[in-house]
Homo-oligomer: A and B are copies of this chain.
């Protein structure tokens, strides 16, 4: 289904970086969810470039909703968000048409689409397309919140600089969702920004690790095997450009543990079944166990750098030096954060709708 995600609640994505409009259709929404345009703008704002550490292209995201909303509430019919592309300078790209940029999708798009792809600015593969994902998913985040489910993400690490762990998941979530640079430890924030700015000065870029927490999920959600909570979240998260890895709970550090350390002991807390540790990240056998869902995502360094690189002219089949110009991000993980939250909202809402029906979100 290519550009569509989900089963009960689906999002279909379309558009190109330099086309007239980009957008998303979200179907299966419960009728009666109030549209909070202010929150949608807040989310889009978190995705936008930010200060010195991001590209200077001013991307105004004046979204419009052209279907599925009536009297400011979802109708239940497909909801479509459109965002016009403005401030486009296509000439920045056309000269590079035959010389694919390293670690971008230029060459693979060329091969996939037999040379018919819109190559301007990454075309359909551009990170720009995450904007409609963010706008549309904001509606689901609102609906999830009304059922007590919160999603938040911080920058866990950038190189050797690490943020503190979650302490109070719900309180930390509230803090993070208001921050443009989502780091809980102020010292870590300062050092990360310095690292990014230094890379920018050198025409280079940096990668990082994001950590996401979902609190308030009912127990028993998810499916065995191919629609496990991990499967569904991972499928969505790997759709996000620059994501190259995901781990749940203790993740890769499980390889250094014995079972006796790794197993989450089952205990009673305030009369409720919980686990002492949360190495399994809130999921056993693919199903939620009532503990917070925790996962980490690695975002590779922005491939657009301003140092001399090597590539090949795909027409002449000759090796060529390549020096990029233009406006780009030395880091994108802080902006990717809201995209992670958005896709996580899509994934969790879809699994909830499968179990409880699409009407569940407005039930009282």
Contact check, B251 vs A244: say whether CB atoms are below 8 A apart: yes
9-residue interface stretch from A12-20, A41-49, A141-149, A177-185: A12-20
Min C-beta distance of A129 to chain B, whole Å: 8
Min C-beta distance of A326 to chain B, whole Å: 15
Query: Taking the complex as formed, is A303 at the interface, i.e. its CB lies under 8 A from any CB of chain B?
Result: yes
Residues from chain B with a CB closer than 8 A to the CB of A236 are 226, 231
Query: Taking the complex as formed, is A61 at the interface, i.e. its CB lies under 8 A from any CB of chain B?
Result: no
Query: Taking the complex as formed, is A121 at the interface, i.e. its CB lies under 8 A from any CB of chain B?
Result: no
Residues from chain B with a CB closer than 8 A to the CB of A314 are 273
Q: How far is the CA of A302 from the CA of B73 in the complex (A)?
A: 30
Q: How far is the CA of A252 from the CA of B159 in the complex (A)?
A: 10
Interface size on A, residues (CB 8 A): 154
Residues from chain B with a CB closer than 8 A to the CB of A268 are 312, 317-319
Q: How many copies does the complex hold?
A: 4
With A27-B3, A31-B113 known as contacts, the answer to whether A67 contacts B224 (CB < 8 A) is no
With A267-B319, A286-B239 known as contacts, the answer to whether A255 contacts B207 (CB < 8 A) is yes
Contact check, A254 vs B77: say whether CB atoms are below 8 A apart: no
Q: How far is the CA of A271 from the CA of B266 in the complex (A)?
A: 54
Q: How far is the CA of A7 from the CA of B226 in the complex (A)?
A: 12
Interface membership of chain A positions 221-252, coded 1 if the CB is closer than 8 angstroms to chain B and 0 otherwise: 11111111011101110110101111111111
With A111-B220, A255-B207 known as contacts, the answer to whether A260 contacts B307 (CB < 8 A) is yes
Query: Taking the complex as formed, is A55 at the interface, i.e. its CB lies under 8 A from any CB of chain B?
Result: no
Contact check, B27 vs A77: say whether CB atoms are below 8 A apart: no
With A14-B80, A248-B245, A298-B255 known as contacts, the answer to whether A4 contacts B4 (CB < 8 A) is yes
